[in-house]
Structure 1
Amino acid sequence: MITMIDIDRMVVDAAKIHLRGICGDAMDREEGDNYKIIVEDCVPHLKKFAAEGQKFDYVINDLTAIPISLEPTGSFWDFLRLILSLSIDVLEEDGKYFTQGNSSNMRDALQMYEDQLNKLEVKVSFSKETVCVPSYHELWVFYTLWKSAQS
């Protein structure tokens, strides 16, 4: 079962067009036997999933890049921490969380993000991969997180 939540109707409609090659006509409807597309803010849904104890094998966050700032403070960082915390809350014990980082040139921002990972209530481990994203015209860092064994 796949649940996709996106706040932007235009993104969902574009996905229906651009994913046709791999999804066929499956996305012509927003709910099927093994998928559901929700066009709303993900925060209330993540909070509801967490409250109900619903867990996911994978959470893919494509919301936003790591903010560029001198300190990990302010509304963008608060939002990033909220999404990160809620996503880890709904992640299965052996699940994976995937998210974009930022440009590989933004070393300070990437380090601030990694520092935030060490401050989570649930301990996580992570790997990162730097890849060329042609549409960005630069190298971009992507993260995979998973819950660490609790000591």
Structure 2
Amino acid sequence: MAAARHSTLDFMLGAKADSETILKGLQSIFQEQGMTESVHTWQDHGYLATYINKNGSFANLRIYPHGLVLLDLQSYDGDAEGKEVDSLLNKVEERMKELSRDTTGRVKRLPPIVRGGTIDRYWPTADGRLVEYDIDEVVYDEDSPYQNIKILHSKQFGNILILSGDVNLAESDLAYTRAIMGSGKEDYTGKDVLILGGGDGGILCEIVKLKPKMVTMVEIDQMVIDGCKKYMRKTCGDVLDNLKGDCYQGNCVNLTEALSLYEEQLGHLYCPVEFSKEIVCVPSYLELWVFYTVWKKAKP
């Protein structure tokens, strides 16, 4: 599947931009690529020059009076054309350094963004940053009644589980799983343990090694379990192959049943506890969230 390659090159000049000098100085570089020019000017707001190639690629050169110069170039993501784009960017960068006469304060070239490709390598973090992963294969992509489930392969991190656009867990993330379990500070030997969620099998796989009395894992989405037991085996081992083991059992139930099991387990802790439950509708999530507050019961 064809993809578009979006390349950028930014200059922050140390002085106000001489727009006409920059346009004239760069014109020959674009002409060498067979690109025709269209220039728009705004009084007190600089210049916008658009260069179009007969093969469909185009470049926008935006020159702001205060010294910011931006070049955006969009082209087809082919090997030969990719080399032409890199060559053009190199020539523009060198010419800009000549034209600015050492007044360039900062030059920034980002890796090209590939848009519309078969494999999506860009995924947002929880705090709103965009991360590009070295994804080279879509391993699993299915829609369940609850969410979209993707498992993508990364050369660096192994298979990565992504649920409705949120990165959940990769095969490299054993440290994350162990941190959830208390980083070795919690003793699970001979105890009853309840795992709400965890359909990737990571926590279940690690906790059964610590010889608990019984582990109950509750997951609402059977398709997460099915995908992970086949494609996330470095994370879950073989614990998802059969959801009833010597010291564990897995259940795929709806949310109401899951909460009922959670409340039941609260009555089997090593010390008596009390709890309160609040169900809140989060408007932007378009769903209900359940919040528990649990505290140790006061001695009579």
Larger helix percent: 1
Larger relative contact order (CA 8 Å, sep ≥ 6): 1
TM-score bracket, shorter-length normalisation: 0.3 to 0.5
Larger strand percent: 2
